[in-house]
Structure formats: C-alpha cells, structure tokens
C-alpha cells in the first residue's frame, strides 16, 4: 500500500528557490519540502560569485535592468526584468535578516556595509557575496531556518516521479494536487498531496557531458511539467560556463567569474592572452562570448583545455577573496598564487524552462515553477552573471504571496490512487541505463553544444528518438529507481532542447549555429506546447467537484 502524506503546499526542491518559498509560507501554512538527496544537494550550494542587486547608492535599477536586457540579446521580457530587479534589494535584505553571513566592507567603499563585486556584463559593482562560497552560506543558513520551523516537514532522499493532475485523476479541468515520490531510503513510492505544488527542482545541465552542476540537475521539474501539460520555452539557451577546473579527478568544479572580475587572464598553452581578439571587453565579455572563444581556440589548437591566471595578484588578496578555489586547486596540486589554472567550458545554466507569469504560475492551475526550473522571461537569450539566485528569491517571494492570497479559495484535492506496481519487475539489465546515460550526454555535448549546425541537430534528433523508445519501454516494465527516473527526465529535456534549437533559425545569445550566423531582426521566444496542454488560464481551482 502506498504511504500518503497531506500538506497545504508541496515544494519540490530545496535550493534557494524552494527554501525561500517554504520559509515564506510556513508562518501560515503547512509545507512539505522534498529533495532528492541531502537538503544542500542542489546547485545553490555550489554558487560561488553571489547575488546581483541594486545595493550601491551610485547604482540604479535602470542600470541593472539595462545590463540584463543587453545580456538577454533582445529576448528578455522587459516587464519581468523590471519586476525582478525592482525586488532585488528587498529580497537580499530578507537573506541578511535570515542571517546569511555576506562579506562585510568596513571601509564602506561601495557606499554599502557589504563588499560588492563586479562580474562580466555588469556596469556596476553589485554582487553581494560570502567570500567565494555564497551558495553554501545561503544554503546552510536557510536550511537551518527550515529545520527550526515547526510548519515545514523536510523530506530528504525523495525523488518526485510525476505530478498528480486532475487529468490523471479523470476529473474535468486543469489542476495539480500532488506528486508520486520515490523514497530512496525505503525504495518505495509515496504519495504527497497538497492544495498547491511548486516545482523548484533546478536546471537541466546534466544533459551535457561536462557540467558545473551537481548530479541531480537532470531537469526533473521541466520534464514533469511537460508531461503534466505545461508549455516549455527557450530550451535552446544553455549557458556554458567558460571556466571549469580541468583535472581528471575534479568533478564539476567551477572557477568563478569573479576571478576574471578581479583581473585573472585567460591564456593559451604558450602563455599568450587571446580574449582581446574576440571582444574589446576581453576577459570581462559576457560568458557566451568567452566560452565560444575558448571553444574556438581549443579546437584550433587541438588541446583539451586552456588556462586562467591570477598569479600576478598578491598572495593575501587571492587568499582573502578566493579561499575555496585556492584550497580546492591545491588539493589537485595547483597553487593558484604561483601558476595558471587549467580550465574548460562546461554546461552551467538552463535559461529556458516551465513558462510562468510574474507570480510563478504555470499553465496548470495550482502548479507553480520557480528558480532555474522556470522560464519567467527574465534572462532572455543569455543569463547575466549572478542574476539567477536573484530570480530564485524574487519568484519564490511572488509565488508565496500568490499562494497565500488564494489558499482559502482553493479546494482540498481529490484523493489520488495508490502507485500501481503490479505490472513491473526488478530490472535485470541496469547496463541499459548506464549506457544510455553516457550516450545521451556525449551526443548532446558533441551535437547540441556551444556551436551547433542543422546537421548535428538532426543527428541528435535521430538518436534521441531511439533512446525515447527504449526508455519508455524500460519504464513500463521495470520498477523505478533514481537513475531510471533521471535518465527518463534527461531524455525528455534533451529532446526539448533539440526541438527548440532546431526551431531557431538564427544565432542569438547563447544559441550559436554555423548555418544561421546572423541575428534575426525580430526576437521571438521558442515555445513548445505539449499534446495535453489545456488552453484555459491557470486560475486556482475554486470549484472542484471533489472538494472536501
Ligand atoms: C557551480 C555553480 C556556481 C554558480 N554560481 C552562481 C552565482 O554566483 N550566482 C548566481 O546567481 N547563480 C549561480 N549559479 C546558478 C545558481 O546557483 C542556480 O541557478 C540556482 O542555485 C538554482 O537554484 P534552484 O533553487 O532553482 O535549484 P537548485 O539549487 O539546483 O536546487 C534544486 C533542488 O531540487 C531538488 N530536486 C531536483 N529534482 C527533484 C526531484 N525529482 N524530486 C525531488 N527533488 C528534486 C534537488 O534535490 C535540489 O534540492 C551557479 C551554479 C553552479 C552550478
């Protein structure tokens, strides 16, 4: 028998977005907060640079808005940008109130009590940070708050499999009321039901062979929302971070953009600098330009990495500003105060995602999407550094207000049936999962990576069609496991990335194709619509026939 849990709100994901939403609801409602592994397992924990916001008295909302619009290459929704940037100070103040230990600036050099850094594409110093481990500070602080809150039940080692919708319950209309969830500790499937559900499950960068993201970034929320009937937008815009540590034992370690902000130089193996040849802003050009320049030079020279050098700065400066990077590199025998760091680009951020409005509502009523899972229109065709944590905070806040305003008028969900395992057996061939997992991530890297062509995308399309069939068959015959669920979701999001990339017949922002190198005069979002999409607006369900 399936174990059932009932809450007011179900939040899937415990990164910056999910933790913030849970905390903002919990004084009024009972919240279930799920995460795949430990609560700190998402990308948030690994964020180094910081959170962008208008904090310096010489900076303005208009300047931050302009920088975001410039990075977005004509595709940002200007209302979403103004809304998000306008909320930046309030959301960062809330983090400070929660006790996040941001690096202070006793000298007040930026007219602010906190030290602010500048990153690529920003016209001002406006990144608040906790040394070079900002995500860890945010994550640890908010998790501690969540653990202290009596109204939040935190469930670790839980993998949401699929959403429970009215469609699946055979009830007319459009709405979400829970999720089936794999408990990894007991290997059983549980049912979580709630009046509102929020997807805060991070991005999909694990679709690629090289990524800066932790293992769980398999696009689960995007895939679940697609299957539940939500439109998904702009999945072709994958940000590749230019500089991940290149070392056989260093899994996904990012060398923060802040190093380049503080003067680190990109170099070829012979020590020559090259960025000026690609962009007058040099190392401070936006990430897509830097990543493409590195990719170009690596391919031209046939080498598997280049170098980032900050060793000309005083030792004390490096140790004070980049203690984590210094320590981590030393572990691999690289002393960044003395020598250059070997680096490669890696998939870093998913700009597209589940389409939402400014309250975080999706196409399915009572279902919200926030953080990296969502597509709000804020980033456009390219994300400006340190704008993503900001988006997590702002949209978690907006979704919390919307849920609180509509909670009383929303019906209690109908009881969903138990999870049916009567037709499946234990897998006897796990090699299918590991093989397909590797194959998928490699062809996505080779054919749908930093530089694309029609031919490469067609190759990827053929391969994804085969994998889709194999895994659909496997899924219907065998018991679910975390690896199988992640692979199923990765195949779904990789397909969405390929379809979106094929639709875009131009190069813009992060999408670069040799077949269409120019930017079209008209900027349009790529919107993919699932077969079960229902056109009615996502209003809260006030008249459910099944209401209790
Ligand atoms: C190395 C690195 C450095 C970065 N640096 C910065 C920076 O300096 N500034 C900035 O603004 N951004 C930065 N980013 C991006 C930013 O960290 C992320 O976009 C942001 O943290 C995403 O937060 P999130 O809450 O949406 O998701 P995440 O923090 O990724 O959390 C996702 C959560 O969802 C859970 N989850 C996923 N699938 C399921 C499922 N099926 N069932 C249950 N739970 C699930 C996971 O367990 C996890 O708890 C960085 C990213 C990386 C990887």
Distance CA 270, CA 499 (A): 40
Q: How far apart are the first and last CA of the chain?
A: 23
Convert the pLDDT of each residue in 402-429 to its tens digit. 999 999 999 998 899 999 988 888 877 7
CA 165 / ligand 1 centre spacing (Å): 25
CA dihedral 489, 494, 496, 502 (to 10 degrees): -170
**Predicted confidence (pLDDT) at residue 542 exceeds the cutoff of 60:** no
Given 3-state DSSP classes, what are the helix, strand and coil percentages for the chain, each rounded to the nearest 5? 35, 20, 45
Task: Read off the pTM.
Answer: 0.93
Residue 467: both structure tokens together = 């994998």
- Range with lowest mean pLDDT among 38-47, 165-174, 395-404: 165-174
**Predicted confidence (pLDDT) at residue 159 exceeds the cutoff of 50:** yes
42, 217, 255: which to mutate for ligand 1, most atoms within 8 A of CB? Answer: 42
Catalytic (active site) residue 338 = no
Convert the pLDDT of each residue in 198-243 to its tens digit. 999 999 999 998 899 999 999 999 999 999 999 999 999 999 999 9
Say if ligand 1 is within 6 A of residue 135 CB.
Answer: yes
What would the 3-class secondary structure string for 312-350 be? CCCHHHHHHHCHHHHHHHHHCCCCCCCCCEEEEEEEEEE
Say if ligand 1 is within 6 A of residue 48 CB.
Answer: yes
User: What's the confidence (pLDDT) of residue 516?
Assistant: 98
Q: How many residues does the chain have?
A: 548
Chain-wide mean pLDDT for the chain?
93
Q: Which of 376, 458, 409, 484 is nearest to 196 (CA)?
A: 409
For the purposes of burial, counting CB atoms within 10 Å of the CB of 232, is it exposed (0-12), middle (13-18) or buried (19 or more)? Answer: buried
Distance CA 373, CA 142 (A): 19
- The dihedral sign for the CA sequence 508, 511, 512, 513: negative
The DSSP result for 463-502, as a single string, is HHHHHHHHHHHHHHHB---HHHHHHHHHHHHHHHHHHHHH
**Predicted confidence (pLDDT) at residue 70 exceeds the cutoff of 60:** yes
User: What's the confidence (pLDDT) of residue 536?
Assistant: 63
Give the number of the atom of ligand 1 that is nearest the alpha carbon of residue 139. 29
What would the 3-class secondary structure string for 198-220 be? EECCCCCHHHCCCECCCCCCCCH
According to DSSP, the β-strands at 353-355 and 374-375 are: parallel
**Predicted confidence (pLDDT) at residue 376 exceeds the cutoff of 70:** yes
Contacts of 58 (CB under 8 A, 6+ apart): 111, 124
Say if ligand 1 is within 6 A of residue 84 CB.
Answer: no
Residues 291-312, mean pLDDT to the nearest whole number: 91
Model confidence band, residue 431 (pLDDT cutoffs 50, 70, 90): confident
Model confidence band, residue 432 (pLDDT cutoffs 50, 70, 90): confident
Say if ligand 1 is within 6 A of residue 362 CB.
Answer: no
User: What's the confidence (pLDDT) of residue 543?
Assistant: 40
CA 375 / ligand 1 centre spacing (Å): 14
Q: Are 18 and 371 in contact (CB under 8 A)?
A: yes
Say if ligand 1 is within 6 A of residue 489 CB.
Answer: no
Distance CA 345, CA 249 (A): 16
CA 37 / ligand 1 centre spacing (Å): 13
User: What's the confidence (pLDDT) of residue 538?
Assistant: 47
Give the number of the atom of ligand 1 that is nearest the alpha carbon of residue 387. 11
**Predicted confidence (pLDDT) at residue 444 exceeds the cutoff of 80:** yes
User: What's the confidence (pLDDT) of residue 32?
Assistant: 98
């Amino acid at each position: 028998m399936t174990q059932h849990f009932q809450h007011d709100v179900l939040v899937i994901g415990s990164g910056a977005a999910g933790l913030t939403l849970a905390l903002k609801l919990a004084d009024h409602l009972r919240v279930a907060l799920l995460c795949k592994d430990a609560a700190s397992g998402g990308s948030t924990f690994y964020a180094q640079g910081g959170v962008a916001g208008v904090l310096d008295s010489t900076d303005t909302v208009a300047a931050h808005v302009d920088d975001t619009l410039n990075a977005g290459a004509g595709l940002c929704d200007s209302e979403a940008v103004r809304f998000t940037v306008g909320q930046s100070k309030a959301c960062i103040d809330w983090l400070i109130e929660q006790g996040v230990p941001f690096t202070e600036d006793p000298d007040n050099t930026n007219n602010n009590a906190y030290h602010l850094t500048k990153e690529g594409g920003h016209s001002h110093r406006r990144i608040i940070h906790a040394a070079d481990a900002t995500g860890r500070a945010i994550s640890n602080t908010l998790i501690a708050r969540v653990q202290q809150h009596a109204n939040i039940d935190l469930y670790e080692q839980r993998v949401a499999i699929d959403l429970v919708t009215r469609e699946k319950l055979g009830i007319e209309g459009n709405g979400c009321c829970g999720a089936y969830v794999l408990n990894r500790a007991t290997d059983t499937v549980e049912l979580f039901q709630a009046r509102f559900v929020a997807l805060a499950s991070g991005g999909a960068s694990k679709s690629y062979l090289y990524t800066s993201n932790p293992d769980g970034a398999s696009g689960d929320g995007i895939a679940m929302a697609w299957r539940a009937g939500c439109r998904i937008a702009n999945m072709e815009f994958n940000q590749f971070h230019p500089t991940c540590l290149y070392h056989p034992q260093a899994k996904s370690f990012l060398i923060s953009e802040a190093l380049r902000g503080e003067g680190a130089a990109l170099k070829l193996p012979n020590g020559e600098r090259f960025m000026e040849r690609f962009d007058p802003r040099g190392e401070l050009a936006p990430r897509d330009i830097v990543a493409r320049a590195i990719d170009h030079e690596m391919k031209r020279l046939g080498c598997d990495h280049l170098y980032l050098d900050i060793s000309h700065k005083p030792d004390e400066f490096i140790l004070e500003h980049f203690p984590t990077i210094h320590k981590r590199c030393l572990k691999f025998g690289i002393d960044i105060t003395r020598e250059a760091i070997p680096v490669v680009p890696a998939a870093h951020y998913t700009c597209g995602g589940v389409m939402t409005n400014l309250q975080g509502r999706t196409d399915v009523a009572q279902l919200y999407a926030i953080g990296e899972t969502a597509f709000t229109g804020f980033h456009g065709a390219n994300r400006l550094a340190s704008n993503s944590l900001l988006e997590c905070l702002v949209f978690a806040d907006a979704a919390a207000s919307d849920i609180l305003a509509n909670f009383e008028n929303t019906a209690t969900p109908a009881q969903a049936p138990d999870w049916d395992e009567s037709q499946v057996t234990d897998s006897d061939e796990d090699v299918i999962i590991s093989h397909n997992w590797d194959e998928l991530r490699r062809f996505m890297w080779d054919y749908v990576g930093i530089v694309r062509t029609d031919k490469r995308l067609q190759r990827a399309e053929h391969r994804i069609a085969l994998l889709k069939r194999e895994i659909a068959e496997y899924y219907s015959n065998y018991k679910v496991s975390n690896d199988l669920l992640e692979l199923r979701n990765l195949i779904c999001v990789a397909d969405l990335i390929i379809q979106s990339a094929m639709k875009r017949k131009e190069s813009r922002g992060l999408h670069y194709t040799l077949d269409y190198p120019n930017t079209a005069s008209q900027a349009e979002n790529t919107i993919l619509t699932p077969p079960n999409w229902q056109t009615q607006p996502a209003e809260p369900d006030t008249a459910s026939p099944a209401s209790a």
